[in-house]
Structure formats: structure tokens, C-alpha cells
Structure 1
């Protein structure tokens, strides 16, 4: 499972560093280090597990794997399991892989094995929290993520996930603190700026939210923040323009289903429940056979959205979520 090669271990540690940073270019840099470690020691199970993790992170940046990448990902999982069956992380990575593939039974099997091997591992706790979230148990997910951060307080993604869960639970001050801490640890963490800006909107600190939006690259996340913050500040013309831009992006032929949820969140914030629920329904209508990961991600984002949970007619959303099962 471990290696006796100092050089392989050094390459592995470099890979872990970039893997934990989770910036857009970090996954590829981590992958190169893990591949170097494996060239030095092909039996290094932890390096195979780390390599598998890089493919999961790439999904966060809208990089669906082609056939060649899928084969490499599958090989990494097979090798990690074969060489390190007693390592909790190998089963977590296998669970993530089969989850992406839509093989829920095998994903669940590996989750249980990981929990059985090391229930107090930070990665195991985070994955357990994600599972609880998908089942609709936000407060259980929050408790598990708190434990994960206590075990690994320097994990940027761990703190970012905790911040998102806190925001969903309405604990906005604590959410802001965790998200800002995550940004300090990894300034290029995916969606960190938009998550902070969303919390500021919910705190009615619209000028601060707009200041963050102005520094964000042009795109859907920026449009959403502008649509929310301008509306909250009373600038309806600017808010309508941003919402129109966001809606156009969301209905492009190759748009990610999650963009429809961004539109729904803006409508919910504006008090337009009918439009918000329509957006949720459209996001959940994603054909899992076309994009399993997108369908799963849409469900997760609905569960953690502090804007959608504020809908007065929230119970109407439950049948929509059930349709996503």
C-alpha cells in the first residue's frame, strides 16, 4: 500500500498538495506528480488512489472524461483496490467512480467498506456527509462535515463544504467565516467567490457582494451574483439585465443543467416562486443517461441552496426531488 521509495513518496506528497488546493489547473498538476510516483513505484496504492481523485476534481470544472480518460480512471481504481484494499481512501475513490457511472449499488458497497475501515477519516466523513445530504438530511451532513474539518482543518474543500452547508442551514456568519478561511487556504477553489458573494447577499450586504462579482470572470456565476445583489440593492434594471444574460446562458443547447438552478435561485430571491419551481423542475428533468454526474449534481445543489430552501412553498419541491431518484 505504501512505498519504500523516497523519490516516489516525494512525488506523491507534491501530488497531494495540488490535489488539496483543488484549483482549476491543480488537478492536472497533481495528476502529473502521481503519475511520476507510479513510474517510480507501480505498486504504490495511495498514488493510484490520488490519481483517481484527480478525475473527480476535473468534473467540478465541467471537464467530462472522454473514452481515454475514462479508461485511465477505471485503471486507477482497479489498481488502487487491488494494491490497497485495506486503505479507506481507495474505497472512497471507488465509490466516487461508481457514483459517477450511475452504479449506485457498487458505490454504496465501497462507501460502507471505507466507513468500516476508518470512520473517523476526514475524507470518509465528508463522503458520508454528501450521502446524508442526498438523502435530505442537511443537519446530519453538517455534523459530519464539522467532524471532517476538525480532523483536517487545513483542507480547503472541507472548509468550503462546511461553509456551504452552514449557509443552507441559515448560519450565515459562521458560513462566511468558513468560506473565507477556505479561500485563504486555496484562492482558486472552485466557486469560492460566488459562494461568499451569495452569503453576503443573504446578509443583505449587497455592495460587498457586487464588489466580488465585479472581480469575477464573465459567465453564469457572475451573472447570478449581479442579478441577486442588484435586485437586493433596488437596482431593478441592472438586475433584470443580469437575469436575462443568465437565462440565455442556461438555455443554450450545451448548457450545464445546474445553470437552470442558478436562474431558479434568482427568481426565488425575487419572490417569484412559480418561476423558481419551474427552473428546479427543468434541472431535474436532465436525462441521467446523457449526464449522470450532472443529474446528481443538480440534486445536490438543490439540497444545499439557501435560496431555494427559503421558498414559502418548499413542500411543493419534494415531489420534484423524488422524481430525481
Structure 2
């Protein structure tokens, strides 16, 4: 049995790995004493704090992100050489950064990069560290560097579904939908019960023009409580592609009721296209007021103005969204689907749009 003291947790993991490998008839390479499970820290309390922080990684709320920060900080205080805890801290700094605005966002994104660089300085073979640095690079629009680190992460640990999701997201941005679908399918194979993996698979299907399949994928996600916010946005894109603006309004209205700026911007745009211009203008006024007091993002106003047909203002806000990094935000952010979808049809015919893509390094590869 594996009934041992908690202090032996890493030895237990190693013994389990050996037992499973033995049952499968695997040949263990190297010396007999070689560990199959690397010991990340010698301090079990630090490891427990790391696990608590990691449990909060996928819970998308500001309070859980800040609690996660605290767990990772405590783990590092106990063991400053704990590379995985530094990578976890970097992830949470990035998460908090996507929920704040202006200088605060820039500060948290900088802290995220500093923490992940520390993680990789301690252990350059840490798959989690390279995946996190890939996400950091995407937020800075450095897609080539992001791809290198994400690919390295998969080489180090092919079983990380989230890294495959990040690569699917990256290839949607770089205009390679077939590659995006390949990575999204692999993420779903690795973790078929993951709501985010299923949503990213639907996003990749949509990127390949397979709206019927994407909507079928999203039907199950619509039943989740609390709902996965990105799922409604992806469904709305499918309806918009078909010119079904009232259906897009219907799927976004419950989400927009929560007042989140990203969902509100998308909602205002589809309202305008559905002929409900007055409500769209009220939403724009709300978003503008938030932006003026430092509580909103430029990209949300770009989306509403695109929906309202104000091309010049939409370009003004798009330029600002590069500066405040609200255009991409984080993996899972709807930016690319919006600017490459029907809401931005008029803008994409404008020479300014191609110049903007060139600035972001998004020329066709």
C-alpha cells in the first residue's frame, strides 16, 4: 500500500509511477535508483500551498486570482528556489492583469514576466514555466516567441492540455486555422472533460468555417453553472457569421447583464447590427464613462463603434487597444474572432486595418 506519512509524498508519487510503468511492461531507463517523479521542493507545506494556488488557476474571478497569488507567495516565502511556485505566481499575476486597466494592467503584466523569468532561471526544463512565458509573450503581441515557448513546453510535457489550448489560440491569431484545430483536438483528447478545452475546440471549428459543429459543441457548455463566459461569445460569433443578429443578441444578453465590459462591448455591437441602435448607444456611453475613469478598455469601445458603423472611431480605439493591451488580453479573449468576424467587415477593407495587422506581426505566414 501507499499509506505513508505526508512527508514522503514525493517518494509515494515516484513509487506509484514505477508501479504503473511496471504493470504496463515499460522498461525504465537509467540507473535503478533514478526518480521518475522530480521532487519540486523539499518542504511539504510549500507544496500544499502550490496545490491550493493551482486549484484556483481555472476559476475565473478576481477574488480567486488574488487568493491564488497569496498561496504562491507563501509557498515562495517557504522555499524561494521552488520554480513551479514562481511559475504559478506568474500565471496569477497575468490573470489579475487581465481584470484591471491602464497602468495597473501594465504593472501586473510586468510582474508576471519577472516571476516566470525567475521560474525558468531556476529550472529551464519546467514545462509550466515555458507555457506561462508563451502566454506572457502573446499578451505583448510577440507571437513568434510565444510559439517557441509553447512548443518547448509541449516537448517537455506533452500531456498539458492547457498548453495545447494556448497554441490553438495562438494559431487562430496568426491566421492558421487548420493548425489551431489540430492543437484544439489534441487538448480535447488529453482532457475530454475540460470546459475550456471544449470551448477552444468550438472556437477552432468556427475559425475553420464549421459553425454547425461549433454550435453543437457549445450546447453542452451552455448548461454549466456558473456559465463559461467565452462559450456564449463563440456562439454569438457563429450566429453573426450567418447574419442571425437577433440570435446573437439572445445568447449574449444574459452574460451582458453581469455588466462585464468585454461581454458588454460585444453585446452593444450585436445590438447595433440587430437594429437596436438606441440600446447600443447607451451601452457605448457606459463603456466610455468607465474608460474615462480608468475602469474600462479601449477594445470594447472599438467593438461597439464597429457595430455602429463608425469606422474612424473604431480605428482610434483599436490603436488605443494595442497600447493598453486590451486587444488580446489573455488566451480565451475574443479579440481575434471579433476583428476577423462580420462586425469588422468594413474595417478590414480599409488600408488602415492591414497596417495595424503588420504592426502586430500578423502578416500571413
Q: Establish whether TM, by shorter chain, passes 0.5.
A: yes
Alignment of 1:321 onto 2:357: yes
Instruction: Write the deviation string for residues 268-297 of structure 1: whole angstroms up to 9, x where unpaired.
Output: xxxxxxx36545533432275x42x23545
TM-align CA RMSD: 3.9
Structure 1 residue 124, shift from structure 2 partner: 2.9
Alignment of 1:263 onto 2:296: no
Structure 1 residue 86, shift from structure 2 partner: 0.7
Structure 1 residue 103, shift from structure 2 partner: 6.5
Which 10-residue stretch deviates more, 185-194 or 250-259?
Answer: 185-194
Alignment match, 1:245: 282
CA distance in 2, matches of 1:223, 1:137: 26
Q: TM-score, normalised by structure 1?
A: 0.74
Structure 1 residue 198, shift from structure 2 partner: 4.9
CA distance in 2, matches of 1:211, 1:70: 32
Gaps of 5+ in 1: 268-274
Alignment of 1:25 onto 2:63: yes
Alignment match, 1:272: none
Structure 1 residue 90, shift from structure 2 partner: 0.6
Gaps of 5+ in 2: 1-38
Alignment of 1:166 onto 2:205: yes
5 Å-filtered alignment, 1:185-200, equals 187=226, 189-199=228-238
Alignment match, 1:308: 342
Alignment match, 2:171: 132
Q: 1:133 to 1:144 in 2, by over 3 A?
A: same
Say how many residue pairs are matched: 310
Alignment match, 1:175: 214
CA distance in 2, matches of 1:67, 1:260: 19
Structure 1 residue 182, shift from structure 2 partner: 4.8
Structure 1 residue 178, shift from structure 2 partner: 3.9
5 Å-filtered alignment, 1:1-325, equals 2-63=40-101, 65=104, 69=108, 72-100=111-139, 107=146, 110-118=149-157, 121-179=160-218, 181-182=220-221, 187=226, 189-199=228-238, 204=244, 206=246, 209-210=249-250, 213-214=253-254, 216-218=257-259, 220=261, 221-222=263-264, 224-225=266-267, 228=270, 232=274, 236=275, 239-249=276-286, 251-252=288-289, 253=292, 254=294, 255-264=296-305, 266-267=307-308, 275=309, 277-278=311-312, 280-286=314-320, 288=322, 290-291=323-324, 293-297=325-329, 301=334, 303-305=336-338, 307-308=341-342, 311=345, 314=348, 316=350, 317-325=353-361
CA distance in 2, matches of 1:313, 1:38: 47
Alignment match, 2:21: none
Structure 1 residue 16, shift from structure 2 partner: 1.8
Secondary structure at 1:21 match in 2: coil
